[in-house]
Chains A and B, each alone.
Chain A
Amino acid sequence: MFSFTLRRALSALLVLFAISIAVFLIFFATPGVDPAARIAGRSASPATLAHVRAAFGLNRPIFIRYLLMMDHLFIKRDLTSYVNVGLKVVPQVLKAAPITLALVSGAAVIWLTVGIFGGIVAAANRGKFIDPLVMFIGIAAVSVPAYWLGEVVNLITQSRLHSSVFSWVPSGGYVSLTQNPFEWALHLLFPWLTLAALYAGIYARVLRAELVNAMNEDYVRTARAKGLSERRILIRHALRCSLISIVSLFGLDFGALIGGAALLTEVVFGLPGVGMLTYTALQNLDLPVIMACVLYGSFFVVLANAVVDVLYAFLDPRVRVA
């Protein structure tokens, strides 16, 4: 198990290295993308361009530029924005990351709880009224776009019912956990619920399908022939095997969301997270910030996948040997 974890961590590092090269090439070596032109402004003279190139080190070989970029990004950590000259990139990402992390982790707890519970309830009551009911709520939650749901939540809690039922709801923004844990949770409550709705729906539906499949497996028949209770068969046998696919789904979703895919929720609720940072950087084509955000995002996607693989091996003994 330990050697498996180690091997997985090494391969994750390798993937990250490859991603950093790919991202660098996309933004700095693609024909037509001239960072110097971005920095110097729209109608800069050739002399200014040459000056900017020399000043930012853009006239040096691409290989050196990659190393310089990585040096500024990871070792010196003094990479500055091309758009707001002087603004350091790394602290910005480090400031935005905890917000996204808090939003996504809290939502993940909610959607896993609700999704797994919903899936089990639906599968256990297959063919009864409650099964299609849970599945309908699930598909409804999946179908509602996060930005629309977020706006509706805002409309209700901030405007229509703000003076009565929802007077306790703060008006958006973020309060850090260390500053005031209660306010932190209060500010994040509706963003959590909004983000979790979509995923809870997906997870409930996926888990129900997996469970229904598993309940037709031979090992479930064996478990029944052993004289176990239906509840134990469902939870200890069928659910245990179905969790494997839920975990892999969760790894992908969680990694992508931490990496910036929670953008819509962040924008709607005014949370200055990584999604928001990436979004503004893309609008300004602020290459260093984009570079940092993409690398940050890919780091979490790769990390989440590595964690999932290790979890996988924990859940499924057949994977460990391979």
Chain B
Amino acid sequence: MPESPILKVSDLKVTFATRQGPLRAVDGLSFEVAPKEVVGIVGESGSGKSVSMYSMLGLVRDANVSITGSVKFNGREILGLTDREMQPIRGGEIGMIFQDPMTALTPVYTVGWQIIEQLRAHTTMTKVQARERAIELLAEVGIPDPRTRVDNYPHEFSGGMRQRVVIAMALSCNPKLLIADEPTTALDVTTQAQILDLMSKLQETYNSSIVIITHDMGVIAEMAHRVVVMYAGRPAEIGNEIDVVRHPRHPYTWGLLGAVPRVESRNDRLATIPGNAVSPLDIPEGCAFADRCAYRMDICTKRPQLQGDHGHLDACWLTDEQRVSIRSKATP
């Protein structure tokens, strides 16, 4: 990557103090996002995808949380900034899209009011200018008749339309980075595709980088340039989308990809990863995936480090030869 990264996360650790002991939600996450790059973070529920993004922006409000590591945005350390110092970054330079558009907007204000509120918080626009901009934004995200719709309340929109409003709001201040937390999970399938199309289109217009959190490998294949696969708060595999999707190296990624239903498949049963996701309360010292892994070895009691070349890293003890032989057996 020739350009300096817009976001550089190093060894991010998020731990909640609970009665049952420390809960390690994120345990040593490191990745970079280059300008105009789309990075997908994928993993099962509870793998620490969302928490890592929220903690970066200081949106985890739990008094028992401890966040360590380093998050550099545009070369500036943003971890540990106060709310006041974060205000211009949140919404201004980093926009955020949430999972559930039904609850993400304040129910008692019109959508226009909420977009104007954000514009006025970060720019010197007058009310009239901000309103015009809000109408433009709504038109841009594909809301029909934006001049009337700007005065409607969130409950007067459908789920997909609400997500468009949230996207319009997130983009309102031309953020350099957009964080999308499962933006399509709460939507039906046809709407999902529309929202993804919209995001790709807007990404080109606005030249912003995107971090997209999802558990859907289909979304990754469609959107992402690079992929971070997370398991139990740890990165399992990082690489370019092509590399990770076509030539996955980590057994967990094999499982995830195997669980994607295919139209041409003749199998009635969906492939699943055996066992349950490991509880973040007792993550093993060694490889977190070892208990569910079919290729477990003695060395797996030691924690594997991310390694690899050409930017395709994975945390697994399997040697290249072992992988080749396993994969050739698995996919005839």
Binding site for B on A (CB under 8 A): 127, 215, 217-219, 221-230, 236-237, 240-241, 315-318
Q: How far is the CB of B176 from chain A (nearest CB, A)?
A: 14
Tell which of B97-105, B229-237, B281-289, B320-328 binds the partner.
B97-105
Q: List residues of B (284-310) whose CB comes within 8 Å of A's CBs.
A: none
B98 touches A222 (CB 8 A): yes
The 8 closest A-B pairs by CB, nearest first: A227-B91, A227-B90, A218-B103, A226-B91, A225-B96, A219-B106, A317-B153, A226-B118
Given A219-B103, A221-B59, A225-B96 in contact, is the A315-B108 Cβ separation under 8 Å?
yes
What residue in chain A is nearest B91 (Cβ atoms)?
Answer: A227
Which B residues touch A218, using CB under 8 A?
98, 100, 103-104
Which of B100, B105, B107, B166 contacts A318, CB < 8 Å? B107
25 cross-chain CB contacts under 8 A: A218-B103, A218-B104, A219-B104, A219-B105, A221-B54, A221-B59, A222-B106, A222-B169, A225-B59, A226-B169, A227-B87, A227-B121, A227-B122, A228-B118, A236-B117, A237-B106, A240-B106, A240-B108, A241-B106, A241-B107, A241-B108, A316-B107, A317-B153, A318-B107, A318-B153
What residue in chain B is nearest A126 (Cβ atoms)?
Answer: B63
In whole angstroms, what is the CA distance A237 to B63 when docked?
22
Q: How far is the CB of B122 from chain A (nearest CB, A)?
A: 6
The verdict on B57 contacting chain A, using a C-beta distance below 8 Å, is: yes
Given A127-B63, A218-B100 in contact, is the A228-B105 Cβ separation under 8 Å?
no
In whole angstroms, what is the CA distance A218 to B98 when docked?
9
Given A227-B122, A318-B155 in contact, is the A222-B89 Cβ separation under 8 Å?
no
In whole angstroms, what is the CA distance A227 to B61 when docked?
15
Q: List residues of B (54-94) whose CB comes within 8 Å of A's CBs.
A: 54, 57, 59, 61, 63, 83-84, 86-92
Q: How far is the CB of B52 from chain A (nearest CB, A)?
A: 15
Which B residues touch A219, using CB under 8 A?
103-107
What residue in chain A is nearest B95 (Cβ atoms)?
Answer: A225
Which A residues touch B122, using CB under 8 A?
227
Given A218-B100, A219-B104, A317-B153 in contact, is the A227-B89 Cβ separation under 8 Å?
yes
A222 touches B105 (CB 8 A): yes
Q: How far is the CB of A10 from chain B (nearest CB, A)?
A: 26
What residue in chain B is nearest A225 (Cβ atoms)?
Answer: B96
A223 touches B89 (CB 8 A): no
Which B residues touch A317, using CB under 8 A?
107-108, 153, 155
In whole angstroms, what is the CA distance A223 to B115 when docked?
11
What residue in chain B is nearest A217 (Cβ atoms)?
Answer: B103
Which A residues touch B170, using CB under 8 A?
225
B104 touches A222 (CB 8 A): yes
In whole angstroms, what is the CA distance A127 to B117 when docked?
29
Which B residues touch A237, using CB under 8 A?
106
In whole angstroms, what is the CA distance A213 to B103 when docked?
14
In whole angstroms, what is the CA distance A222 to B95 when docked?
10
In whole angstroms, what is the CA distance A223 to B95 when docked?
11
A227 touches B104 (CB 8 A): no
What residue in chain B is nearest A244 (Cβ atoms)?
Answer: B108
Q: List residues of B (105-161) whose CB comes within 8 Å of A's CBs.
A: 105-109, 117-118, 121-122, 153, 155
Known pairs A222-B98, A222-B106, A224-B90; list 8 more (Cβ under 8 Å). Answer: A217-B103, A223-B106, A225-B170, A226-B169, A228-B118, A237-B106, A318-B107, A318-B153
What residue in chain A is nearest B179 (Cβ atoms)?
Answer: A225
In whole angstroms, what is the CA distance A230 to B89 when docked?
15
Which A residues touch B121, using CB under 8 A?
226-228
B117 touches A226 (CB 8 A): yes
Which A residues touch B57, using CB under 8 A?
225
Q: Which of A219, A225, A228 counts the most B-chain CB atoms under 10 A from its CB?
A: A225
B153 touches A221 (CB 8 A): no
Which A residues touch B59, using CB under 8 A?
221, 224-225
Q: How far is the CB of A129 from chain B (nearest CB, A)?
A: 14
Given A218-B98, A222-B166, A318-B155 in contact, is the A227-B92 Cβ separation under 8 Å?
yes
Which B residues touch A229, using CB under 8 A?
83-84, 87
Which A residues touch B109, using CB under 8 A?
240
Q: How far is the CB of B288 from chain A (nearest CB, A)?
A: 28
Given A218-B100, A318-B155 in contact, is the A228-B107 Cβ separation under 8 Å?
no
Q: How far is the CB of A236 from chain B (nearest CB, A)?
A: 8
In whole angstroms, what is the CA distance A316 to B154 when docked?
12
What residue in chain B is nearest A223 (Cβ atoms)?
Answer: B106
What residue in chain B is nearest A227 (Cβ atoms)?
Answer: B91
Which A residues touch B87, using CB under 8 A?
227-229
Q: How far is the CB of A93 from chain B (nearest CB, A)?
A: 39
In whole angstroms, what is the CA distance A224 to B55 when docked?
13
Given A218-B98, A318-B155 in contact, is the A227-B118 Cβ separation under 8 Å?
yes
Q: How far is the CB of A70 from chain B (nearest CB, A)?
A: 42
Which of B63, B84, B91 contacts A225, CB < 8 Å? B91
Q: How far is the CB of A312 from chain B (nearest CB, A)?
A: 11
Which A residues touch B83, using CB under 8 A?
229-230
In whole angstroms, what is the CA distance A228 to B57 when docked?
13
Which B residues touch A222, using CB under 8 A?
96, 98, 104-106, 166, 169
What residue in chain B is nearest A240 (Cβ atoms)?
Answer: B108
Which A residues touch B90, using CB under 8 A?
224-227
A316 touches B108 (CB 8 A): yes
In whole angstroms, what is the CA distance A217 to B102 when docked?
12
Per-residue CB contact flags for chain B residues 5-36 toward chain A (1 = under 8 Å, else 0) read 00000000000000000000000000000000
In whole angstroms, what is the CA distance A217 to B91 when docked?
18
In whole angstroms, what is the CA distance A262 to B90 when docked?
50
In whole angstroms, what is the CA distance A226 to B165 when docked?
13
Q: List residues of B (176-232) whose CB comes within 8 Å of A's CBs.
A: none
In whole angstroms, what is the CA distance A222 to B79 when docked?
19
